[in-house]
């Protein structure tokens, strides 16, 4: 499915938010090897981690397709998407 640049940026932002949630949980729960997590904590963390990984895989795949369709380097397309997602309004 062809995606617009704006859709890719939105996908990257969603993946970034999901990653942020994983980091928040790591900070809140601490390392599971130091203080064992409860079943609920483990379930919450694993769900957040799977969500992040799925969103990240989806945006990476979409960027690859977009770059191929546009005839641009994949690395440049990824860089452009991440810059736009993480630094709105920045000139590039």
What's 3's DSSP letter?
-
Per-residue model confidence (pLDDT) at position 34 = 85
The number of C-alpha atoms within 13 Å of 23 and in the hemisphere containing its C-beta is 6
- The alpha carbon of residue 71 and the mean position of all alpha carbons in its chain are separated, in whole angstroms, by 24
Tens digit of each residue's pLDDT (9 = 90 or more) over 46-64: 999 999 999 999 999 999 9
Contacts of the segment 68-73: beta carbons below 8 A, 24+ positions apart: 69/2
- What's the mean pLDDT in 13-36? 94
* Residues 53, 86: Cα–Cα separation, whole Å: 18
């Amino acid at each position: 499915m062809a995606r617009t640049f704006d859709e890719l940026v939105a996908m990257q932002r969603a993946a970034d938010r999901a990653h942020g949630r994983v980091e928040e949980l790591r900070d809140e729960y601490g390392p599971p090897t130091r203080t064992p997590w409860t079943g609920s904590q483990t379930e919450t963390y694993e769900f957040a981690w799977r969500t992040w990984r799925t969103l990240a895989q989806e945006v990476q795949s979409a960027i690859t397709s977009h770059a191929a369709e546009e005839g641009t380097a994949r690395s440049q397309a990824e860089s452009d998407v991440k810059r736009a997602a993480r630094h709105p309004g920045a000139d590039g």
